Amino acid sequence: MDQGYERERFETIKIKTSVAKKFRNYCKSIAKSQSMALRLMVEFFENNGVSPEDHLGETIASLKGQIIKRSNAVIAIIKNIEKMHHKPTTAILQTLFEQMSQMEKDDDEVFDFGMPKLLTDNEERDHYKNAYYKTQEAYNDLKQETKGLLKKVKFVRNNFGIGHYRLNITKESLEILKQKLEHVHHHNPTETGR
């Protein structure tokens, strides 16, 4: 008796004699009763969404073989991509990284500035104090030169129009003044004197 189906009664299904013989032989080969074999077949078709009229190839084993062949083809394609694309790209990047590290080593040798000198609080205060005094001195010099320049300015009245101002200095004095204004940044030299 089939487990779980002991109390159910049997139904008769009309099938051809040759089909019944073939079905009984199949049931014996899988060691199942006719009812259980038929139930398993129907569930197989329902669960896998397959119709009995569908042709799946020679056997499930042949499908497995086809899947393995397809998988091997995909693996071969991936290996080819890796070989043809990724490895050369990786090699190029590796070469670039090596060149960059070599350039950094070369740069370290050429542009070694050494350790910066740390200033104490007193040295820092003196540095900024001196810079302030130099700036004040430059400002006072500029102020004096401007006052001296303004003293040399004279108003000239014009008989036929508006009057104007005239600067009474020589051409050489004007050139010296221009040079001082163009080279203002030289009043604050760096520690190297440049």
Tell me, yes or no, whether 67 and 87 share the same domain: yes
| Domain end call among 54, 72, 95 | 54
Tell me, yes or no, whether 44 and 65 share the same domain: no
Q: What's the rounded Cα separation, in Å, for the pair 83 and 81?
A: 5
Q: Which residue has the higher pLDDT, 160 or 20?
A: 20
Q: At 154, phi and psi to the nearest 5?
A: -130, 140
- Answer yes or no: is 91 within a domain: yes
- Answer yes or no: is 130 within a domain: no
User: Nearest 5°: CA angle at 107, between 106 and 109?
Assistant: 65
Tell me, yes or no, whether 50 and 88 share the same domain: no
pLDDT score, position 193: 47
Contact predicate 134/188, CB 8 Å: yes
- Answer yes or no: is 144 within a domain: no
Q: Model-level pTM?
A: 0.32
Domain that holds residue 13: 1-54
What's the whole-number mean pLDDT along residues 61-81?
Answer: 83
Tell me, yes or no, whether 50 and 63 share the same domain: no
Question: Position of tokens 């500029």?
Answer: 142
Question: Residue 133: which pLDDT band, with cuts at 50, 70 and 90?
Answer: very high
Which range scores top for mean pLDDT: 21-25, 73-77, 109-113? 21-25
Tell me, yes or no, whether 168 and 153 share the same domain: yes
Tell me, yes or no, whether 26 and 48 share the same domain: yes
Q: What's the rounded Cα separation, in Å, for the pair 170 and 161?
A: 26
Is 10 in a helix, a strand, or coil?
coil
Q: What's the rounded Cα separation, in Å, for the pair 125 and 112?
A: 28
Q: At what angle do helices 171-182 and 121-151 cross, to 10 degrees?
A: 150
- Answer yes or no: is 12 within a domain: yes
pLDDT score, position 194: 42
Tell me, yes or no, whether 62 and 76 share the same domain: yes
- Answer yes or no: is 140 within a domain: no
- Answer yes or no: is 17 within a domain: yes
Which residues touch 32 (CB under 8 Å, ≥6 apart)?
40
Report the chain's terminal Cα–Cα distance, integer Å.
Answer: 110
Per-residue pLDDT reduced to its tens digit, 73-110 = 888 888 888 777 777 778 888 888 888 888 777 655 55
Tell me, yes or no, whether 45 and 62 share the same domain: no
Percent of the chain with pLDDT over 90: 8
- Answer yes or no: is 138 within a domain: no
Assigned token pair, 12: 């008769």
What's the whole-number mean pLDDT along residues 138-150?
Answer: 87
- Answer yes or no: is 137 within a domain: no
pLDDT score, position 134: 92
Contact predicate 138/128, CB 8 Å: no
Domain count, the chain: 3
Tell me, yes or no, whether 44 and 78 share the same domain: no
**E strands, the chain, in order:** 153-156, 164-167
What's the whole-number mean pLDDT along residues 127-141?
Answer: 90
Percent of the chain with pLDDT over 70: 86
